[in-house]
Chain A
Amino acid sequence: MNALLPEYGLSLLDVLQALPQERPLLQTGEVRLSIAEVVTRALALRTAHADWEGQVRVFHSLSPLDFLVELVAWDGFCRRLILLPSSLNPEKAMQQAADVPQFTDSKSTQWLLATSGTSGEPKLIAHTLASLSQSLKRDPQAGTCFRWGLVYDPSRFAGLQVVLQAFFSGAELVITPLNDYDEQVRSLVANRISALSATPTLWRKFAMDGRLRDCPLRQITLGGEIVDQKLLDHLRQSFPEARITHIYASTEAGVGFAVTDGRAGFPLAFVTEGVGRTRLRVDARGHLWLRPPLSPAGNSTWATDEEGYIDSGDRVEIHGDRISFLGRSNGVINVGGNKVHPEKIEEVLRELSQILEVRVAGKKNPLTGELVVADVVPKEMPGDETLRRQILVHCRHHLENWQIPALVRFVPHIDVSGTGKVNRTGA
């Protein structure tokens, strides 16, 4: 029996109602809800707010459990859902939301998700349940075998993929606290999680931790950053029973593909023959373009070419039968899954009067994928650590941890390319 397909205008509630109702679905700390209980809560919300039908619902600062129950309540009921991570300013987001066109097909609820965008300012992109779930496995029989751990924010793309995978296959989802690493690991082990999706940086942290060896993991998924071969080898050695999948997902294209052959990168065959119903192309500059089976509904912001391909903005390199990822074409730095825009960091650094010029770039790091590094041309070459200290204090006031340059080098001048732009090939 296959789960119902949302391509036909079915909602999350329809999907859940078609599954065996007594199955456990959501767990967080003290609370455990079966599919039936989630459905009951969702229906009660609809009854309590009947006037919200066809309206816009904004999700902000909800607990993960409430967030998920409300997703079930409002998909297929409201016209549009706006999912804001708690870090995003609601007013700014609502202004942006007003600019996103409504679909002409009114059957599907439009989901607006936050992404870090190409210029560093958060951007909302539109999806439907159908476009978000097009890569997911739908077999509810398989679902009984897995218990998923959620270590991502459920309001963002990666977290939603885990949530929807659990919902579609009728598997139990254990919500772990995002801000308490120790409790998170304890919860994963105590609940005997058998399926887990996390960034390579978090997997390396788990590897250093060692406690996760007690989890009966049978599905290991990696995504959000470039995956390296050493990490894949380590995971295979630690969890010989597990299927290891690394996912490349483009928020722009709304989809990506999965690699399960245990090798970093992906097969050339994905380009020559396609992968699933997705088609790939690599252009002369090494950019990867994707044509997803369903376009991210209503996104006129992402430029597609005449054949429906979208530029992912990721640079790749072909070696024989294998293609590997090099990084973002726009120089965006990925620190443990967190995107950093070098221009923004440079702007912050330039506020210091002692700095004449600055170049910020990414430097490869074996633990977090990349780190932010800065080359600084100071007014005067420092004789001691005072300027470096001032730079770091200034950064701490204006930037998140992962955005702060890990290395600051004082240089006499900075390379400028032929176009007059700063040379960002990195350190």
Chain B
Amino acid sequence: MTLKETIMQLMREVADTTGTELVSDLNNETVLLESGLDSLGFAILVARLEEQLDYDPFTLMDEPIYPRTLEEFVAIYERFAP
């Protein structure tokens, strides 16, 4: 699975466990806060991704980056992949 696929799968899992629903047309331009996951959901997503991928880019980064879209989110994970 590519990084993007891993992220999207975990997004679905997190939505499922938090009782929320992702938008049906999730794509690169989807604004994260409009994707169906709320901010707690994203926090959980980051934690689950760290569990699965063994790194957390938000902790690794020196400069603060706050992704707005799914594309930006995936890019951050790609950039900091060990």
Task: Tell me the A residues contacting B by CB distance below 8 Å.
Answer: 181, 201, 204-205, 207-210, 230-231, 233-234, 237, 335-336, 363-368, 371, 373, 392, 396, 401-402, 404, 406-407
Contacts and interface: CB of A to CB of B under 8 A. Distances in A.
Contact of B56 (A201, A366, A368): A366
A366 B60 CA distance: 10
B79 to A, nearest CB: 15
A234 B61 CA distance: 12
A226 B61 CA distance: 19
A207 B66 contact: yes
Given A201-B39, A366-B58, A392-B17, A208 B33 contact: yes
B48 interface: yes
Given A209-B68, A336-B39, A366 B59 contact: yes
B1 interface: no
B43 interface: yes
Contacts, number: 65
A189 B32 CA distance: 20
Contact of B32 (A208, A366, A402): A208
Nearest to B39: A205
A402 B39 CA distance: 11
B17 A401 contact: no
Nearest to A366: B58
A396 to B, nearest CB: 6
Contacts of B48: 406-407
Main secondary structure of the interface of B (DSSP, over half): helix
How many chain B residues sit at the interface, stated as a range, is 20 to 34
B39 A231 contact: no
A210 B68 contact: yes
A367 B64 contact: no
B43 A231 contact: no
Contact of B58 (A201, A367, A396, A404): A367
A366 B53 CA distance: 16
B47 A406 contact: yes
25 contacts: A181-B33, A201-B39, A205-B39, A208-B39, A208-B66, A230-B64, A233-B63, A234-B64, A234-B66, A336-B39, A336-B40, A363-B47, A364-B59, A365-B46, A366-B46, A366-B58, A366-B59, A367-B39, A367-B58, A368-B40, A368-B43, A396-B19, A402-B40, A406-B47, A407-B47
